[in-house]
Each structure stands twice: as structure tokens, then as C-alpha cells.
Amino acid sequence: MVRASSFAVCVSDHEPDARAQMVVWEPFMNIGLFGGSFDPIHHGHVALARAAKERFELSRIYFVTANAPPHKQRQPLASYFHRYAMVALATMGEKAFVPSLLEAPGGAAGAGTSSKSRPTDQANANYSIDTVRRMKQSLKKIDRLFFLIGMDAFSDIAKWREPEALFRECEFIVASRPGYSLADVANALPESLRPARAVSQPFAKQPAKGDLVLRGATVHLLDSVHQPVSATAIREAVVAKKALRKFVDAGVEEYIRKQALYS
């Protein structure tokens, strides 16, 4: 049974005469969608999800492993199956964290059981707007969908497919980083949603925190996520035969060793 975190009031209009009496309390949920290549999933990802869950009372966060992320097409990734398995291991201790198969390989790209996925082409890439639309089909109209993302990825959001539509479909929760200002966040928006320079200029000296609510885009900033770790550094640590425990969950470390990933 899914816990409802908040409530909305709906008034039935089927019976105009009874309209005043027909007040229905309908539960709605705040849901998070967190996409990534997760190659591998690490403490930075989990810290972002935990902070978002607490601040926005998210009932569930779906960790969507990208089969073929469009922005990582030149780099060979570990197979989708290995990356998904590590996401499942890293999220199993947290009730609200759900590993999602929404971008599981259906076609040729990234499928197979070899330890590496092939670099993908544009036609096979997973686009977040498609994933968000598919996820929304399984939600109620009144549920609120939040898209979780780190500031480095958010900086390129204007280059994503149908970025304006993505902002229309969900609110964003962005893990900010020291050194970024509110103006940097505003300037990363797609051009049609971006405030005029004269408006965003005064924000250049304000750290990226709080909420940015504009016509067509709502961006909530989390400034409490401080895990300076990346999947790249972890893959390099494996090659250098360094311990991984400070970067990843114990189960994930064990999995990497057993499957001889990244070595």
C-alpha cells in the first residue's frame, strides 16, 4: 500500500446541484524520477536522492538506469544488466527507493550479456522526455513528479530533447555545487524559459539555493549534498586497485569485484 504524503481537494461536477456537498479527499503522491548511467551507482547518487526525499516528502524515487544515455555515446558503458543490478543492490535498504526498468533495452542497443555495452547511436538513445511521459502514464493526474538531477548535468539541460516540454511535465530538484550561482541555474534553462539578462544579473552573486519559480519552469535547489565522488573516479580506482568502500555501497563493491567490472 502506497502512503499518501499530501492531499488535494476535488469537487465533482457530475451533479451540479450537489456540487457544494461533493468534496472528495483524494490522496496524491510526490514522486521522484532519478535517471543516470549509474556506471556504477555511488554515494553521491544516494545522497542526492535521500536529501530530495526528505525535503520534498517523496513517497517513491525511481532510479532509472539509462540503457543508452544520449550524452555518453562515445564512452563504452558496463552492460545495462550490470548497472541495473548495482542500482538494485544500492537501493534495497531504502523502502522509498525503487530500481526502475523504464529504460531497459528492448532493441539491440546495449542488450546482451557481455560485460560492456556498445557505444550507442542517436536512434537508440533514451530521452528523458519519453521516459517522463511513460512514467506519467502510471501516475495519477494529481501526483507531483520531480526530476532529480545534479548541477553538472543540469548545466546542459537546454541541449536535451524537448527541454521546454520536460519542464512542463515535472518540477526539477537540482543538487547544486559550491561555486554555482542562482544566475548560473537560470542561464542553464532553455532560451524560451530563461529570464532576461537584466533580470538574472542580480542573482550572479547569490549561491544556488532555494527555489526558482518561473513561467514554465520550477527548479528547487538542494545545497546540502556534498559527496565529491563520480563514477569516473570509481572506475579509475578499480584500475588502480584501490578500495572502493568510501565511494560505493558494500554490496556494489562486492558485485564489481565478483564480475570483474572496470578492470
Q: Which is nearer to ligand ATP, 69 or 190 (CB)?
A: 69
Residues 4-43 that bind ligand ATP (CB under 6 A): 36-39
Which stretch of DSSP H or E encloses residue 9? Answer: strand 6-11
Whether 59 and 32 have beta carbons less than 8 Å apart is answered as: no
Does 44 sit near ligand ATP (CB under 6 A)?
yes
Choose one: 4-12, 126-134, 148-156, 186-194; the region binding ligand ATP (CB under 6 A).
148-156
Dist. CA 154–CA 163, nearest whole Å: 11
Residue 45 contacts ligand ATP per CB under 6 A: yes
Task: Please provide the DSSP assignment of 188-205 as one string.
Answer: HS-TTTSPPHHHHGGGGG
SS3 40: coil
Which span sits near ligand ATP by CB under 6 A: 84-92, 136-144, 146-154, 185-193? 146-154
Cell digits of residue 57? 516528502
From its phi and psi, is residue 241 left (phi > 0), alpha (psi between -120 and 50) or beta?
A: left
Instruction: State the cell numbers at 237.
Output: 580506482
Asked if 40 and 61 touch (Cβ cutoff 8 Å), the reply is no
229 binds ligand ATP (CB under 6 A): yes
Closest separation between CB of residue 107 and ligand ATP, Å? Answer: 21
Question: In angstroms, what CA-CA distances link 144 with 5, 44, 91, 230?
Answer: 11, 24, 22, 29
In angstroms, what is the minimal distance from the CB of 202 to ligand ATP? 27
Cell numbers at 59, concatenated: 513517497
Closest alpha carbon to 173 in 90, 50, 6, 19: 50
Min separation Cβ 75 and ligand ATP, Å: 7
Under the binding rule (CB under 6 A), the answer on residue 48 touching ligand ATP is yes
Which of the residues 171 through 200 are near ligand ATP (CB under 6 A)?
Answer: 175
Residue type, 14: H
From 231, 248, 252, 256, residue interacting with ligand ATP (rule: CB under 6 A) = 231
Contact flag: residue 150 with ligand ATP (CB under 6 A): yes
Choice between 12 and 75, CB closer to ligand ATP = 75
Query: Does the footprint of ligand ATP cover residue 152 (CB under 6 A)?
Result: yes
Residue 170 binding ligand ATP, by CB under 6 A = no
Q: How far is the CB of 167 from ligand ATP (least distance, A)?
A: 16
Interface with ligand ATP (CB under 6 A): 36-39, 44-45, 48, 149-150, 152-153, 175, 225, 227, 229-232
